[in-house]
Every structure is written in C-alpha cells, then in structure tokens.
Amino acid sequence: MKYKFYLFDLILMFLTGLLAYFLEKFNVIFSDELSINSKYDKSFFTNLVLLCIVVPIIEELIFRSWCGKNLKYGFFLLVAILITGFFYPIIVLSFVFINGILILENSNFLPNSFKRITSLIQYTSTHARCFYSSFFFGLMHIAILKSAEISVGTELVIFTSTFCLGILLCIMRLRYNLLESMKLHSFHNLTLILGYHLLEYIESSIR
C-alpha cells in the first residue's frame, strides 16, 4: 500500500526533529528553511501553493524523473547536474567522469552508439540513480540555505533528512509513478509548514 510511505515520512520527520533537538538547532532549521515569509514577503497561502504544489512538481521532475528505466527524462538529469554542479563542481564532475567511463566502455565507440554516449543514465543501475538523485537533492537544500550562515550541525540535519526523504521519494517513484512521488513530496512540505506555524502559534501564546 502506498499509504505506508506517508507513515514512513511522518516517522522520518519525527526523527529529524529529535536529531535537531539534540543538536540544539531546532529553531534555526525551521526558521531558515521553512519560513519563506521573512525572505520573500509572501502570504501564507502563497507559500502553501509554492511549497506544496510548484516546488514538489519541479523538484520531482529534476531529481526523480530519471530514476526509472525510462530514458525520456534524461534532460532533467542534465538540469540536476547543472544545478548541483554550480555549488559543488568537484562532486558532480566525479559523477560525470565515473558514469562517462561506463558509457564509453559499453558503447565500443561505434558510430551508431553516439546517441547512447550522450545519456548518462543508460548504463547506470536504478539503485545508483536513486543514490545520486538523493545525494544531489540533499546537497541542493544545503546550498540554498548557505546564505543563512547555518551551522555545521544544521547542515548535518538538513542533508540527512533530505537525503533520506530523497530515497523515500525514489522508492515511491519506482514502485508507483512520478505523480505519486509528487504527492508524497507535497504531503511532506505541507506537514512541515503546518507544523512550523503550529509551533510558532504555541510559542507566541506562551509569551
């Protein structure tokens, strides 16, 4: 049943909260990562639309669409490489180099294999694609928050949680389809937003 993925996601968020609490950076993570109001001056409804509809669609296309066996989404792998490579060029260049060698070894340099050489995912296993996807996904979220001058502990929490979320979304995408991973991603963001605002309301009530 696909709904068990939603339960796993709730457990993941709970464990992330515990990890953040023990690192004493709980408030930093939620105020920087989820409080878009302070950065973009958007209404709560606008943030809800952006983070629960627009962002899941875009991020799932970029980071999960190419995890399956269908190579028609190879373009989005290129987008993921360009985005992540802008912040972490050494890591992404290593990914391209390793996969490039695998592709060249399988192509035998035949003229009719030229199109296959241009596809970085054709000779990469599904498990490896899920790892790369989740790894890039985690790095991107750290890179987005670099301007907030977050601590190493906060980076650890963000990367660990987004990497694990990426793996869960990849499994959902492979087990069902890309639309289902978008729904799960939307559920994750919605839960975090509502949880953040609930904590904010409780804190203001106590004061």
What is the chain written as a DSSP string? -THHHHHHHHHHHHHHHHHHHHTT-HHHHHHHHT-THHHH---HHHHHHIIIIIHHHHHHHHHTGGGSS-GGGHHHHHHHHHHHHHH-HHHHHHHHHHHHHHHHHHHTT-GGGHHHHT-TTTTS-HHHHHHHHHHHHHHHHHHHTGGGT--HHHHHHHHHHHHHHHHHHHHHHHHS-HHHHHHHHHHHHHHHHHHHHHHHHHHHHH-
Residue 52: per-residue pLDDT: 92
Query: CA torsion sign, 103 to 94 to 131 to 187?
Result: negative
**Does residue 110 fall inside a structural domain?**
yes
**Does residue 85 fall inside a structural domain?**
yes
**Does residue 122 fall inside a structural domain?**
yes
Residue 168: per-residue pLDDT: 96
88 against 183, higher pLDDT: 183
The dihedral over CA atoms of 77, 78, 84, 89, expressed in degrees to the nearest 10, equals: 130
**DSSP string of 58-77?**
HHHHHHTGGGSS-GGGHHHH
- pLDDT tens string 112-157: 444 444 455 555 677 888 888 899 899 888 887 766 666 777 788 8
**Does residue 127 fall inside a structural domain?**
yes
- pLDDT tens string 24-51: 544 544 444 434 444 444 677 887 888 8
- Total domains in the chain come to 1
Residue 165: per-residue pLDDT: 95
**Does residue 30 fall inside a structural domain?**
no
With cut-offs at 50, 70 and 90, classify the pLDDT of residue 179: very high
**Does residue 204 fall inside a structural domain?**
no
Report CA-CA distances (Å) from 184 to 41, 67, 131, 206. Answer: 26, 16, 18, 33
**Does residue 103 fall inside a structural domain?**
yes
Structural domain for 130, as ranges: 43-199
Residue 26: per-residue pLDDT: 47
Q: Is the pLDDT confidence value at 95 over 50?
A: yes
Provide the mean pLDDT of the chain.
75
**Does residue 23 fall inside a structural domain?**
no
